[in-house]
Amino acid sequence: MRYIAITDIHGELNKLNSVLSKIETREDDTFVFMGDYIDRGPESKGVIDRVIELGQTHKCVYLMGSHEYAYLHARKKDSYYDYLFWNYGGPATVKSYGSFDNIYKTHGNFLDNLKFYYLTAKYLFVHAGINPRYSLEEQEETDLVYIRSAFYNHPHNLPQKIIFGHTEFDEPQVQKDKICIDLGCGKYKNAHLCALILDNGKEEFVYSE
């Protein structure tokens, strides 16, 4: 079985299609999308449509990102997350769906069923990381989707290697116990979307045009 990890697409459907076109898929592939499908880029709706479509032909795991988390809480009238949604790319998402209410009408079931992490024998896939001071079972939801330096600047004690995004770098950050593949797609015009193919210990990075 191969795992193909993709994260922080941020409405960039063309870049998603570009990176997918470069992967020769196999029947045993599992795609793990690690959140932040929406906001910033012009085609948030198209991105979610595309990853759902991929799930019809391949096993796909869909994780929660910080932007989906903010949207879902903004929808519940939480003023803090409402601010985050509208000031960190939300207007582009609303435009792609036609209205704020249409987001949930169209993809509410998808958004409500996003998982916070995906654990395998060798890997933990998560949007932002974990708090190294706590066990996986003790993690706060907000750390799983928002944590930054407290995670990536410190070792963790899990036996799995952690694959994550959320914090953008110019190139994939490969450490002994973790790999970040967020390259700023959607945030920076010329940033690439990166996919990580994990195949029996081999790590291959694939980049969008």
Query: Is 132 a domain residue?
Result: no
Query: Is 139 a domain residue?
Result: no
- How far CA 51 is from CA of 37, 105, 198, 199, 202, in Å, comes to 9, 18, 19, 21, 24
Query: Is 121 a domain residue?
Result: no
Counting the structural domains of the chain, the total is: 1
Summarize the confidence of residues 27-49 as an average pLDDT. Answer: 98
Query: Is 110 a domain residue?
Result: yes
Q: 44: domain CATH number?
A: 3.60.21.10
- Residue-range definition of the domain harbouring residue 99: 2-115+170-207
Summarize the confidence of residues 169-179 as an average pLDDT. Answer: 97
Quick one: CA torsion of 86, 87, 89, 90, rounded to 10 degrees? 0
* Beta strand spans in 1-153 (E): 2-6, 29-33, 59-62, 117-119, 123-126
Q: Rounded to whole angstroms, how far apart are CA atoms 91 and 77?
A: 16
Summarize the confidence of residues 66-81 as an average pLDDT. Answer: 98
pLDDT tops 90 at residue 1: no
Query: Is 86 a domain residue?
Result: yes
Summarize the confidence of residues 121-150 as an average pLDDT. Answer: 97
Query: Is 140 a domain residue?
Result: no
pLDDT digits (tens, 9 = 90+) for 2-22: 999 999 999 999 999 999 999
Query: Is 197 a domain residue?
Result: yes
Summarize the confidence of residues 81-96 as an average pLDDT. Answer: 98
Query: In this structure, what token pair is assigned to residue 157?
Result: 């004690």
